[in-house]
Amino acid sequence: MNKMAEVAKLFDKELEEKFTIIDDNGVVSDACFNEAGVACFPPAVSANVLKKLLTGTYRIKKTPWKAKDDKKYFRVMIKQGEIYPECVYETNPKASNITYNNGFMCKTIKQAEELSKLLIKTARQFQGF
């Protein structure tokens, strides 16, 4: 049984999801996890990339999270002084960025609840909310 999907999840990635690798010399390469390991572009960079990612010699560049079409997500809504988490299904590719309809997109309800609490606390501190 192939475990590459589980390895990809260790890095918060999915199979065939593109990401950027920064090597120990600061050189940047595009890559993705696949059933065979890690595919890099250009391919000449591919030698031992998985091992170097696992040992921390190479790292994955953080990129802003974007919602994917037709997936279930949660967002923190701010309406008329109320701050609350809600479930949303992302279906508009033009709207798939961190903010959406005056809300903040989150992968899980727990993230949305934590963000709601943080926004409420911040609002109370700065605006007497």
Each residue's pLDDT, cut to its tens digit, for the chain (129 residues) gives 888 999 988 888 889 988 899 888 888 888 999 998 888 887 655 568 888 888 888 899 877 666 666 666 776 777 777 777 777 665 554 544 444 444 566 777 777 778 778 877 877 777 654
Q: What are phi and psi of 83, to 5 degrees?
A: -125, 120
Helix, strand, coil: what percent of the chain each, to 5? 30, 35, 35
Task: Please state the pTM of the whole predicted model.
Answer: 0.52
Structure tokens at 129: 């909310």
Read off φ and ψ for residue 111, nearest 5 degrees: -60, -40
* Residue 48: C-alpha distances to residues 40, 114, 117 (Å): 11, 38, 43
Map out the domains of the chain as residue ranges: 4-60, 71-127
